[in-house]
Amino acid sequence: MSEPTTNPHPDLSIRAAELDAADELFKLRERFALPEGVVYLDGNSLGALPAAVPGRVADVVAREWGELLIRSWDESGWWTAPERIGDLIAPLVGAAPGRIVVGDSTSVNLFKALVGAARLVAARGAAEAGGGSGGEPRTELIVDATTFPTDGYIAASAARMTGLTVVPVEPAELLAALGPRTAVVLMNHVDYRSGRLHDLPGLTAAVRAAGALAVWDLCHSAGALPVGLDAHGVDLAVGCTYKYLNGGPGSPAYLYIAERHQAAFDSPLPGWNSHAEPFAMSLGYVPADGALRGRVGTPDILSMLSLEAALGVWDGVDVEAVRAKSLALTDFFLECVEAYVPAGRVESVTPAAHAERGSQVALRTDDAAAVMKELIARGVIGDFRHPDVLRFGFTPLYVGFADAERAARTLAGILSA
């Protein structure tokens, strides 16, 4: 298998260069340490390394830990890192300060959010019953049937703990599934396989109108497109930081708790870090105020401060501009695929409509695993999802239009052989 020696559509290469030259975000590529000659289209699994991170991590290890030792909990701000870094993420997902706390994994935060949401609903139901309003008990936890598997596992466990019944629902059927028994709804903002973007504003409004609480997984949207958590009335949300936020492998996740729920949020994992007086070491648990209730144990400082440094790449960046470039990139990539790849060899499973598209393109093809392996060997890194999907993630901060054109041309070379 070999790439064509000549470009059958040189005008696309020229357009790519022109688009890159006019791109206001193109210079942000300099904020990352990317391997020479590689087209990296897997930022929807692991973001590229921000150039400032190695030096910051070295300083944390050698000076803050090595020299200051335990003093760094105060002197270097280690203790307040979870909420401080949460406030850095907040504007990227449309949240005010004090509503996001960083720490633990996405799965752990999702467990907190789902159990916490179920408890909020139960407490509200008990208060309404006590007031004589009665009403049908809310017993259903609706879960996006296309969700990432771990979300489903966590939801099942949370339901067992809270007496709810999991009801898997296809996103397109969610509105019809809502009713007086619905307690909590868990949705993914962007489908991890197809890249389909779900209607967070509309679905959140419908869930709340049904008297339930909306919990969103933002893993494949935060850092790629506007989210608007506060503006759209989201109740709780979680997300990872190692994809479009470029925090590094296994970097800590985050939990969003809407301000209106913070005083009543009852975490299923009450740890000493979320105690109102953590150093009092009292046997009874009294939760801290605000989003701090989402903390549990000692923060993972090395990865957390690496994340803090990584978030510096967002200085001066408008998320709306990122979204505009994301759509332009994916549009251009799909145009190049259509022009270069032999007819019938690939099928896009990513929606064409902008309102329904995240920041990735998923193409279905025969022998997708082998095709992706060959793409990677030729310097175009995407990923494969069983059984037949090639995924290409477009991170606008460091991916350019020439990258998109080269990726499509390389794919065509493989599929034309």
Q: Active-site residue among 243, 293, 357, 409?
A: 243
Whether residue 242 lies in the annotated active site:
yes
What residues contact 176, with CB distance under 8 A and at least 6 apart? none
Whether residue 27 lies in the annotated active site:
no
Q: Active-site residue among 26, 192, 242, 398?
A: 242
Tokens (6 digits) for 184 = 């909590």
Whether residue 217 lies in the annotated active site:
yes
Q: Active-site residue among 26, 32, 111, 148?
A: 148
Q: Active-site residue among 295, 391, 406, 409?
A: 391
Whether residue 148 lies in the annotated active site:
yes
Whether residue 160 lies in the annotated active site:
no
What Cα–Cα distance (Å) separates residue 274 from each residue in 28, 80, 271? 37, 12, 6
Q: Active-site residue among 42, 144, 191, 217?
A: 217
Q: Catalytic residue numbers?
A: 148, 217, 242-243, 391
